[in-house]
Amino acid sequence: MTWLITGGAGYIGAHVVRAMLDAGEQTVVYDDLSTGIAERVPSGVPLVVGSTLDAGTLARAIEEHSVTGVVHLAAKKQVGESVELPLLYYRENVEGLRVLLEAATAASVRAFVFSSSAAVYGMPDVELVTEETPCVPMSPYGETKLAGEWLVRATGRATGLSTASLRYFNVAGAATPELADTGVFNLVPMVFEKLTENAPPRIFGDDYPTPDGTCVRDYIHVVDLAEAHVAAARALQASPARALQASPGRDLTLNIGRGEGVSVREMIDLINAATGYDRPAVTVPRRPGDPARVVASADRVSVELGWKAKYDVQDMISSAWAGWVRLRPEAARD
C-alpha cells in the first residue's frame, strides 16, 4: 500500500513517516507547512504542499501517487487557541477532515487512520480512562477531535472504509534531536523554557486530590506513538474495505498511552535531574479546566494491535532535551 500522511512534516507526523518507512510501507507526505518543516521529510519521500481544505490538490495527490491508505495527522491542536478561535478550529479540523474523506472515498482508498486525542474525554473522574469512558470535551479542540471520530466512523459504515481513531495521551520525546518538538505548548518544553531562562518552572495548582496535590498525566514517547500508527495501519491493511454499502470494514477506537500516571511535580523533578538543573518549581493558580488525573487504560490497544509502549518517562525527557539543546546550545549544563 501507499500511505498519504497528512501533517507528515510536523513533529508527530515526521516520526510516523519514519516508522512507516522502517516497516517497509510506501509514504507520501501532505502538509501545508504552516507548522511543519520540509526538511523533516526523508529523502525520496514525495512532499505535496497543500491544505486539507483544498479538494483539488488532495485529489491529485491521491491519484498521482496511487494512494491506498491515509494517516491523518494534520490539525490545529492548541487548546487555549481553540477557545479563542473556535471557527478556525472547526474549519481546519472538521471541514478539512470532511474534504479529505470525500477525496479518499472517491478514489477508493481502503484504510484511514485518524489522529484523535485524550482531549475528547474532558475531565473524567476515573482511575483509568477506557475507551468506554464518557466523552465530554471541554474545549473546541477536543470537540473537533470527537466530531472527527464520528465523521470517520460514519464514513466507514457508509462506504466500507476501514478506520481507526487513535486517542493520544501526552506526547513527548524524539527519535533524534532534529525531529524534536519545536513548539512550547506542553509540559516538558514549557519546563525546558523556564530552565533556559533561569526562571522557576511553574505548577498550575497544587491542591488537587492527588498524592502530591498536582495534576497526574499519562505520557507517551513519540516513537512508541509512531509505532502504534504502524500497527493500526497494518491491522486495517489486513482488513480491506468492502464494497460501497456492503458490510463495513474494520472500525477501531483506541487509547494510546502507557497506563501509568506521573504528577507535574514528579515530572519537574525528573527534568531537573536529567538536565543538570536544580531549580525548584513555583506554584501559581490553577488553569481553568485542568482535570486532576487523566491516565489511559492501554489494554484494548494491546489486544487489538499487539502494541505496547517500550519507552519510559526518562527516555522521553532525555531525548526531548537533546533536541532542545540542539536548537538552544546555551541551555546545556556542563
For the chain, count helices (H), then strands (E). 11, 13
**Burial (Cβ within 10 Å: 0-12, 13-18, ≥19) of residue 308:** middle
Distance CA 275, CA 271 (A): 6
Q: Which residues contact 27 (CB under 8 A, 6 or more apart)?
A: 2, 3, 4, 5, 8, 17, 20, 21, 45
Alpha helices in 208-286 (DSSP H): 222-237, 264-275
Strand runs labelled E in 244-323: 251-256, 261-263, 282-284, 293-294
Distance CA 282, CA 286 (A): 12
CB-based contact 99:107 (threshold 8 Å):
no
| Beta-ladder partners of 303 | none
Distance CA 112, CA 215 (A): 34
The CA-atom distances, in angstroms, between 34 and each of 119, 123, 186, 206, 256 are 23, 30, 19, 36, 26
Q: How many CB atoms lie within 10 A of CB 22?
A: 11
Distance CA 195, CA 190 (A): 9
Query: Given 11, 89, 121, 141, which residue is catalytic?
Result: 141
Indicate if 121 belongs to the active site.
no
Output the nine-digit C-alpha cell for 185.
Answer: 505548548
Q: Which residues are catalytic?
A: 141
